Structure 1
C-alpha cells in the first residue's frame, strides 16, 4: 500500500497533472498490468500473482481514501467504492485459489476509469 501512496503523492505533486489524471493513470496502468499478466498466467504465474496483488493494493488504497471523512465524494458513491474494494479483496483470493477469470476485476477497474474520465470531461 505504501508504494501506491508514494506513487499517488508523487503524481499528485506534479503541477501539470490533476489528481483525477493521476488516479486515471494509476488505475489504467494497474489494469493493463493485470490484463497482460493474465494472458501469460499459465507460463508465468508469479507475475500473474504479483499483478493481482498490485490490483488488490490499489483497491485497499481506494477504500482507505473513501473511508476518510474528508473525502469530497458523495457518501453514497464512497460506500459503493468501499464495497467494490471488499469484493475485489474476496474475488482476488478466490482467483488465486480457484483459478477464476480476472474479467470481473478488469471490468470493475474499467468502470471506474470510465466514471473518472466522464467526470473529468465534465469539468
Structure 2
C-alpha cells in the first residue's frame, strides 16, 4: 500500500477519489498543519489539549509515512526514503519535547510546510505538458 493510500485511509474524504496521490498527501498535510498552527497560537485552558490533539494527528501522519517508506516495495528513491524516515523520527522526538513543554511546535509546522511545498511542486510539474 502506497503512502497516498495510507494517508487517504487515515485522513481520507470520499470526495478525494478523483484526486491525485500528491493532492491527497498535500491535503492531509495542509489539514494537519492548519490544526497544529491554530493550536500553537491558542491560549487559555483549552490550549494544551488542542495542541496535544493536533500533535497526535501530526504524529499519526508521520508514522504512516515512516511505515510506507520502510516497505521494500516503496517506489521512491532510496535517499528520499531515508530522509523521510529521518524526518519522521525527528517529528516523533520533537513531539515528545513539545508535549513535555520543553519546546514549541514551530519546527513541526515549518517541516510540514516544507513538505507541502515539495508536494505542490511535484503536482504542478506532473500537470504541465512536456
Please report the TM-score for the alignment, with normalisation by the length of structure 1. 0.87
Find out whether 1:88 has 2:94 as its counterpart.
Answer: no
Select which of 9, 15, 33 maps to 2:35: 33
Structure 1 segments unaligned to the other structure (5+ residues): none
Alignment correspondent of 2:3: none
Q: How many residues are aligned here? A: 120
Q: CA deviation at 1:42?
A: 4.2
Distance 1:52 1:41, change over 3 A: farther
Which of 75, 99, 115 aligns to 1:112? It is 115
Runs in 1 of length 4+ with deviation above 6 angstroms? Answer: none
Deviation at 1:48, TM superposition (A): 1.1
Q: Take 2:33 and 2:39, find their aligned partners in 1: how far apart are those partners?
A: 10
1:4 and 1:57 in contact (8 A); partners too: no
The residue aligned with 1:43 is 45
Question: CA separation in 1, counterparts of 2:14 and 2:79?
Answer: 27
- RMSD of the TM alignment (CA)? 2.1
Report the TM-score when normalising by structure 2. Answer: 0.83
